[in-house]
C-alpha cells in the first residue's frame, strides 16, 4: 500500500512537467546543433573523374549559394563559402557549348559530421547524385599522414660531415 502511495507521489504532475522541460531542452539542443553548425563548402570548378567518366570544368559560370553574392568561376577555380545549417540552395549561371547562358538551381544537404566539403560544379550540373558531387575535403597534409594520428615525419638523412676541404664547396669548375 505504502509503496503504491510512494510511486503515486513520485509520478505526480510536477514530475511530468519537469520531464517535459528536460525533453524540450534536449530537443532544443539538437536543433541548435544542426541549425548553428558551420560548414565550409568549397565550390570547385575543375575537371573531375567519377566512376571512370570525366566531367569537364565549366568555361565560365556565375555561382551564388543561398542567394548570396554571385561569384565568377573559370576553369580550375575553387572558392570558399561559409554556411550554417544543413540545407542549402545553389544558383549557377553558365555557358554551354553553344555559348548560350543557362541557369541551374539545385538544393543540397550537407552531411552533419563533415565540416569542410567540396562541391564539384561539373558533377552537380551533370545531374549526378549528391553523394557524388559532395565529397569531404581532406587537407593535403592529412592525406599524407602528417597530422595528428598520422605517421611521424620521416627522419632526415644524416649529414655527412666528413668532407675534405677541397670537396667542401663542390666542384667549382662546374659552375663556369
Partner 1 sequence: MKKTVTNKDVRNFLANNIVPIIFVVICLICIPIAGYSGQYLVGQIITRIMRNSFLVLSLLIPIMAGMGLNFGMTLGAMAGQIGIIFITAWNVVGIPGLLLAAIIATPIAVLLGWFCGKMLNMARGREMITSYMISFFMNGVYQLVVLYGMGPVIPIHSDQVILPRGYGVRNTIDLINVRQSVDSYWQITIGGVNIPILTIILIALLCVVIVWFRKTKLGQDMRAVGQDLEVAKEAGIKVDRTRILAIIISTVFAAYGMILYLSNMGTLNTYNSHSQIGMFSIAALLVGGASVSKASIKNVFLGIILFHLMFILTPQAGRELMGQAQIGEYFRVFVSYGVITLALVLYEIRTRREKAESAKQLADMQKEGARA
Q: Using CB under 8 A, list all residues that contact partner 1.
A: 25, 28-29, 32-33, 35-39, 84, 115, 147-149
Closer by beta carbon to partner 1, 38 or else 131? 38
CB of 143 to partner 1, least distance (A): 14
CB of 140 to partner 1, least distance (A): 14
What is d(CA 84, CA 128) in angstroms, rounded to the nearest whole number?
A: 24
Closer by beta carbon to partner 1, 56 or else 87? 87
CB of 25 to partner 1, least distance (A): 6
Q: What are phi and psi of 104, to 5 degrees?
A: -140, 130
> 3-class DSSP state for residue 123?
helix
Closer by beta carbon to partner 1, 32 or else 163? 32
What is d(CA 157, CA 147) in angstroms, rounded to the nearest whole number?
A: 21
> 3-class DSSP state for residue 150?
coil
Q: How many CA atoms lie within 13 A of 55 on its CB side?
A: 19
CB of 14 to partner 1, least distance (A): 15
Whose cell is 544537404? That residue is 109
Closer by beta carbon to partner 1, 50 or else 83? 83
CA angle 30/34/38 to nearest 5° reads 140
Closer by beta carbon to partner 1, 20 or else 28? 28
CB of 149 to partner 1, least distance (A): 6
Partners of residue 63 on adjacent β-strands: 71, 92
Amino acid at each position: 500500500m505504502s509503496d503504491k502511495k510512494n510511486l503515486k507521489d513520485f509520478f505526480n504532475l510536477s514530475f511530468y512537467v519537469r520531464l517535459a522541460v528536460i525533453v524540450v531542452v534536449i530537443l532544443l539542443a539538437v536543433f541548435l546543433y544542426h541549425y548553428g553548425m558551420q560548414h565550409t563548402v568549397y565550390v570547385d570548378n575543375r575537371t573531375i573523374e567519377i566512376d571512370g567518366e570525366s566531367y569537364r570544368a565549366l568555361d565560365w559560370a556565375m555561382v551564388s549559394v543561398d542567394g548570396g553574392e554571385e561569384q565568377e568561376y573559370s576553369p580550375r577555380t575553387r572558392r570558399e563559402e561559409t554556411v550554417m545549417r544543413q540545407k542549402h540552395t545553389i544558383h549557377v549561371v553558365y555557358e554551354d557549348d553553344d555559348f548560350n547562358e543557362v541557369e541551374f538551381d539545385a538544393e543540397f544537404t550537407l552531411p552533419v559530421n563533415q565540416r569542410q566539403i567540396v562541391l564539384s560544379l561539373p558533377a552537380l550540373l551533370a545531374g549526378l547524385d549528391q553523394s557524388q558531387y559532395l565529397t569531404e575535403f581532406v587537407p593535403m597534409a592529412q592525406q599524407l599522414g602528417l597530422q595528428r594520428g598520422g605517421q611521424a615525419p620521416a627522419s632526415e638523412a644524416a649529414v655527412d660531415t666528413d668532407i675534405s676541404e677541397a670537396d667542401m664547396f663542390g666542384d667549382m669548375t662546374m659552375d663556369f
